[in-house]
Amino acid sequence: MALKLRLAPRLALLFLAAGLVPLGVTLLVLVPHGEDALRTSAKLLHQSELEALRARVDGALDELMSDVRIVSTAQATQADEVERRARLRFLLDKHQEITVATLFADGQKIAGAQAFDRAQVTDADLDEHERRARPLLGGGAAASEFYPSLRRREMLITLVTPLPGPAGSRRYLATEVSLRRVQELIERTKVGRRGVAYIVDDRGRLVAHPDRDRMLRQENVSTIPIVAELVPNIDRAAGGHALTVVTDFTDDGRDLLGAYAPLGRLRWGLVVSEPREDAYGLARATWAHAGGWTALALALALVVAFVFARDITKPVARLMEGTRGLAAGAFGLSVPVEGPPEIAELARTFNEASQKLDQYDADNRKLLLAVERGYLEVLRALVNAIEAKDPYTAGHSQRTAEFAVAVGRELKLSIDELREIEIGGLLHDIGKIGIAEQILRKPAQLDDAEMRVMRGHPAIGDGIVSDIQMLTRIRSMVRNHHERFDGSGYPDGLKGEEIPLGARVIAVADTYDAITSDRCYQPGRPPLESVPILRRLAGVQLDAACVDALLRALVEMGQLSAADIAQPPAEEHLAPARRRPTLEIAVPPTPPNKLN
């Protein structure tokens, strides 16, 4: 499961990366190109809007000039004062942008040759008109600088046109023209959501602007970068080099996109500008849409990747669990055949291998059991050959092995440990093969020399099994089964838990069999009489835990009852015939120096 948890995210990320790499390349390569194209389109749109607006402004100015020419033509013929005034009045009524019309001859205003709307034009307006016109008399067609009418809240300009007349006479028509049509056109023009269009003169002063207050103040905006760039181009346009320019600029901390172009009729220029974030909004929206679609694609790819990863990791995880089962010895284990074809084929191969391993394991177990049986038979034959030297110990090693295995089961030892204890029990006295028969069969007490020889059999047995690799783990049982828990045993004088557990188990089993078996120096006692003897030896000669385990095992084997081991009988209750000297391993009465 841990593998599944680690593998699934990795596979998902791998699938995700495989799917997102093309998308990422597209996003990083194509989107910037698309954004550049959109920026270029935005600039071209500004250029197109500017040129269209310039065409409309030029058209409005052309209409004004046409009205002026019509008025001039009408005044070219001679007429008396009443007729001149009627003509001027008619023309003013027909052409609303002309607010005042005045005829001049030789620099002087002709009497009765002036028309205006008294509802709109005051005497001050007339004086301003005449003041603007007089400097322009004496030459060709000319225009004054524009000037505001604060009362009418509009911008005005005076145009002077020469008229044909008698020889020696110089006659002119001065008309005051309202720029309200141009102003209304600028006000109606929408540049994006927050952009503006405006007209400036060759000094950067506002001629027309959506904010009339700024226009009427003739606010100078030449400090705005795009206007500063436009003003020199107005002069060049007057020389026939008009051009349209689109540029990015910054005004008062605001990033703007703008376009400008000179106007052909007057020394003015037209500007349109818009916040850059609005102008390039489509480009930004492209990034936003690209990001949104990328996020959606990422989410979908992630879901699909995890689905595919799960379809792969689930069977792989089951295969891994099955592999661990095989490693733990669970041969014959099968896993579900599922997932992609390759994984399913791997699962089928695994199941076939598992079944074959199970068969091999069964065969090997049978072979091993046969080898072990043969091995144990050989050991039993060897033990029987040894015990044939002393008929009183016949069967002792086999019984000791059985009792030792029973004790091991009570101590919850493993199967391998029980198998080792069984072999150790069989071979614990193998060293007696090196002891003379007269010592082994001597019915009387052994002298000191004979005792030293007899005590050498554990070391002799250790030497015998030390060269056999299969018996390496039972060496300590053969060598140390005569060690005493209080440290007074032999051959190494080990004490307590220094004595290997297998040796302590065999010591308890060996002692019990010695008490209950007939020997040349004493008859065997009933199992019940062994209980107090074993309890007295517990903690002195024998491991108390092993003694308790033996007593429980004897109950399981039916040699004792639970009541027998619950309250051991007192020594004085034992039959007198049984109270004779016993083994060297027993406690008083003092035994002869005879070993089991």
Quickly list DSSP for 307-376.
Answer: HHHHHHHHHHHHHHHHHHHHHTT-TT------SSHHHHHHHHHHHHHHHHHHHHHHHHHHHHHHHHHHHH
Q: For residue 113, give the nearest of 66, 142, 77, 146 by alpha carbon.
A: 77
Please check whether residue 595 lies inside any domain of the structure.
Answer: no
Same domain, yes or no: 210 and 263? yes
Please check whether residue 89 lies inside any domain of the structure.
Answer: yes
Please check whether residue 65 lies inside any domain of the structure.
Answer: no
Of 122, 153, 181, the residue at which a domain comes to its end is 181
Tell which wins on pLDDT, 545 or 471.
Answer: 545
Coil, helix or strand for 173? strand
Asked if residues 35 and 287 have their Cβ atoms less than 8 Å apart, the reply is yes
Same domain, yes or no: 514 and 407? yes
For the chain, give the mean pLDDT.
79
Please check whether residue 264 lies inside any domain of the structure.
Answer: yes
Same domain, yes or no: 203 and 147? no
Please name the amino acid found at residue 326.
L
Question: How many domains would you assign to the chain?
Answer: 4
Residue 352: φ, ψ to 5°? -65, -45
Q: Domain range spanning residue 340?
A: 288-358
How far is the C-alpha of 198 from the C-alpha of 209, rounded, in Å?
Answer: 5
Q: Is 168 left (phi over 0), alpha (psi -120 to 50) or beta?
A: left
Same domain, yes or no: 316 and 343? yes
Q: Residue 476 — very low, low, confident or very high, per pLDDT cuts 50/70/90?
A: very high
Structural tokens at position 529:
């009489």
Please check whether residue 547 lies inside any domain of the structure.
Answer: yes
End-to-end CA distance of the chain: 58
Same domain, yes or no: 244 and 298? no
Same domain, yes or no: 315 and 433? no
pLDDT at 347 over 80: no
Kindly write down the DSSP assignment for every residue of 76-132, as one continuous string.
Answer: SS---HHHHHHHHHHHHHH-TTEEEEEEEETTEEEEEEEEE-TTT--HHHHHHHHHH
According to the model, what pLDDT value does residue 3 have?
44
Asked if residues 50 and 244 have their Cβ atoms less than 8 Å apart, the reply is yes
How far is the C-alpha of 390 from the C-alpha of 394, rounded, in Å?
Answer: 7
According to the model, what pLDDT value does residue 25 have?
63
Of 337, 358, 379, the residue at which a domain comes to its end is 358
Please check whether residue 447 lies inside any domain of the structure.
Answer: yes
* Percent of the chain clearing pLDDT 70 (strictly above): 77
Q: Which residues of 75-96 are buried (b: 16+ CB within 10 A; e: fewer)?
A: beeeeeeeebbebbeebbeebe
- CA distances in angstroms from 154 to 89, 127, 151, 159, 206, listed in the order given: 22, 17, 8, 16, 12
Asked if residues 192 and 164 have their Cβ atoms less than 8 Å apart, the reply is no
Same domain, yes or no: 408 and 514? yes
Of 259, 279, 299, the residue at which a domain comes to its end is 279
Please check whether residue 585 lies inside any domain of the structure.
Answer: no
Tell which wins on pLDDT, 557 or 370.
Answer: 557
Q: How many residues does the chain have?
A: 596
CATH classification of the domain holding 123: 3.30.450
Same domain, yes or no: 348 and 200? no
Q: Residue 37 — very low, low, confident or very high, per pLDDT cuts 50/70/90?
A: low
pLDDT at 359 over 90: no
Same domain, yes or no: 146 and 250? no
Of 124-133, 257-266, 487-496, which range is least confident?
Answer: 257-266
Helix (H) or strand (E) holding 61: helix 31-74
* 134: Cα separation from own chain's centroid: 83
CATH classification of the domain holding 537: 1.10.3210.10
pLDDT at 330 over 80: no
Same domain, yes or no: 442 and 424? yes
Structural tokens at position 560:
């004792």
Same domain, yes or no: 432 and 326? no
Please check whether residue 47 lies inside any domain of the structure.
Answer: no
How far is the C-alpha of 520 from the C-alpha of 514, rounded, in Å?
Answer: 11
Q: Residue 490 — very low, low, confident or very high, per pLDDT cuts 50/70/90?
A: very high
Kindly write down the DSSP assignment for every residue of 320-337, as one continuous string.
Answer: HHHHHHHHTT-TT-----
pLDDT digits (tens, 9 = 90+) for 53-110: 888 887 777 777 776 676 666 665 555 666 767 777 777 777 778 888 888 888 888 8
CATH classification of the domain holding 219: 3.30.450.20
Same domain, yes or no: 393 and 464? yes
